[in-house]
Amino acid sequence: MCMVSINVDETALREIRPELNSSAAIRLWVQNLVEFRLQEMRAEDAEMMDLETMRENLHQMVREVYTMP
């Protein structure tokens, strides 16, 4: 784990999200945003095909095309 520090325009944020009325509320909101994005990134990574698998699939498709009657 690491800790980071960010600067937030509290006035602008509270105009949009009035419920973020304390530093603790803003901190929790940002933490949730980061955790959600991390889950998205994990899902994206799991969906990606590695290069060797892609190459094998391509070779298989080429073999199938050239062996068609």
Report the 3 state secondary structure along 10-44: HHHHHHHCCCCCCHHHHHHHHHHHHHHHHHHHHHH
The pTM for the full model equals 0.62
Any domain includes 1: no
Any domain includes 32: yes
User: Among 4-8, 13-17, 48-52, which is the least confidently predicted range?
Assistant: 48-52
pLDDT at 49 over 80: no
Any domain includes 2: no
Average pLDDT, the chain: 88
Any domain includes 47: yes
Residues 6+ apart with CB under 8 A from 50: none
Mean pLDDT over residues 19-23, rounded? 93
Domain count along the chain: 1
Any domain includes 5: no
| Residue 36 structural domain | 10-66
Any domain includes 29: yes
Any domain includes 3: no
